[in-house]
Amino acid sequence: MTRRTGRLQVLFCVVLTALVGVGCSANSSTPVAAGGKPGPLVSAPPPIAAATGLSDVELAKRFGAAVWRVETLGCGFWRSGSAFAIDAHHLVTNNHVVSNDSAPVVRSPTGEAHKGRVIGSSKTPDVAVIEVKETLPVVVGWAPTASLVTGEHIVELGYPLPARVFTVSPGSIVNFQPPGARQAVLANTAIDHGNSGGPALLSNGTTAGVVTQMTLPQDPTKRVAIAFTTDTVRGTVEQFLQHPATVMSDCGIGPDYVPPLPPNFSVPAVPPPQPALRAVPAPSVPQATSAPPDAPSWDVQPAAPPSPPPSSTTSSSTSTSSTTTSTSTTSTSTTAQTSP
């Protein structure tokens, strides 16, 4: 080795040590820590997303059990929507989802069902709180509205038509509404009837807001995915939790109701939606239980009520139906009919 080459190598080692804290040896390729002792190989830190973010499938697996289907029966019709647990006994949904039934049924992705009670509802913002006696296994936290950014990835979980089964709908934040404020986010997720009331999850599992499908005022046939942010709904939700009340059904909102965008929102067109995920593993939740009374089963069409059998006459007989027993000289058998 020439003297000039030796000086260059020493200079290189000094610069390397100053930059990365690792020395070098003239006769070995093994990294040497400052001070002359061999040290471990230094690898680049993992990306932030890999350290703190969850994939769409992981989000569904970890937090899907916090998202329940809401089933209502009242005012002469059925309706379904979505809700998410915020503590051990309370779920958040949209007001228009439960307007026709103040005692809805909530059902988990695997069929576990609980009878609920609406303890507060508001048309503006469109939010309601359902209380259940049973302990909810998984809850979702609120994401700070100020932390949200345009283009941020979100995942909306819920039970949309036509199947009304647990569905994962990924997308991103297109913009904030109304312009200059953060009352809601416009998303490019694919949602439908039944998604209303579900959460819009960030990659850390907190929710950016409450999902609501809304119509464009200039064309009511066009619908967009809106999530009313934490800053918009949380104060109202906390008020319901602190002052629970008896809520009466409101039959003025029909079964096909889709709320229009507020007049101060500016959405000229529907963003092209991303497709929903398929073949997502079912969330881990407790075993399914029998349905509570009056709980409609949305996965199948309700059967038509049975027709009463023809009247029968005997000289002396006992006629027994599913609910009554009668004895007389002339008797008529009666079959109890149960509303679907």
**Spatial distance between the Cα atoms of 210 and 183, rounded to a whole number of angstroms:** 11
| 26 and 57 part of one domain | no
Residues 15 and 163 in one domain: no
Domain assignment present for 270: no
- Residue 11 sits in the same domain as residue 144: no
* Count of domains observed in the chain: 2
Give the separation between CA 268 and CA 28, rounded to whole angstroms: 66
Distance CA 258, CA 227 (A): 14
Rounded Cα distance, 331 and 339, in Å:
25
Give whole-number Cα distances, 183 to 179, 207, 212, 287, 306, in Å: 9, 14, 13, 38, 50
CA pair distance 332, 325, nearest whole angstrom: 10
Q: 21 and 89 share a domain?
A: no
250, part of any domain: no
Tell which of 211, 242, 273 closes a domain. Answer: 242
pLDDT digits (tens, 9 = 90+) for 38-86: 333 333 333 333 336 899 999 999 999 999 999 999 999 999 999 999 9
CA distance linking residue 244 with residue 236, whole number of Å: 12
As a whole number, the mean pLDDT across the chain is 77
Same domain? For 9 and 125 the reply is no
Q: What whole-number distance in Å separates Cα of residue 278 and Cα of residue 101? A: 31
Q: Are residues 169 and 70 in the same domain?
A: yes
Residues 227, 124 share a domain: yes
Which pLDDT score, from 0 to 100, does residue 307 have?
55
Rounded-to-integer distance, Cα 122 and Cα 233, Å: 10
Q: Answer whether residue 163 is part of any domain.
A: yes
Q: How is residue 280 written in tokens?
A: 């997502």
Q: What is the pLDDT along the chain (340 residues), one digit of tens a residue?
A: 544 445 444 444 443 344 434 443 333 333 333 334 333 333 333 333 333 689 999 999 999 999 999 999 999 999 999 999 999 999 999 999 999 999 999 999 988 999 999 999 999 999 999 999 999 999 999 999 999 999 999 999 999 988 899 999 999 999 999 999 999 999 999 999 999 999 999 999 999 999 999 999 999 999 999 999 999 999 999 999 999 999 999 999 998 899 999 999 999 999 999 888 865 655 654 443 344 434 444 433 333 445 555 554 444 433 333 333 333 333 333 333 433 3
337 is a domain residue: no
ω into 162 cis (within 30 of 0): yes
Does 296 reside within a domain? no
User: What domain range includes position 222?
Assistant: 52-242
Domain match, 56 and 127 both: yes
Q: Are 137 and 224 found together in one domain?
A: yes
287 within a domain of the structure (yes/no) = no
Do 168 and 56 meet the contact criterion of CB atoms below 8 Å apart? yes
pTM of the predicted structure, to 2 decimals: 0.70
Tens digit of each residue's pLDDT (9 = 90 or more) over 74-92 = 999 999 999 999 999 999 9
Query: What is the residue type of 16?
Result: L
Q: What is the CATH number of the domain that holds 92?
A: 2.40.10.120
Please tell me whether the peptide bond between 178 and the residue prior to it is cis, using omega within 30 degrees of 0: yes
Residue 60 lies in a domain: yes
Show which of 242, 257, 291 is a domain's final residue.
242
Q: Which contacts (CB < 8 Å, 24+ apart) does range 316-322 have?
A: none
pLDDT digits (tens, 9 = 90+) for 134-154: 999 999 999 999 999 999 999
Pair (138, 179) in one structural domain: yes
pLDDT of residue 283: 65
The whole-number pLDDT of residue 304 equals 43
Residues 164 and 202 in one domain: yes
Residue that finishes a domain, picked among 203, 224, 242: 242
pLDDT of residue 53: 85
One domain for residues 28 and 164:
no
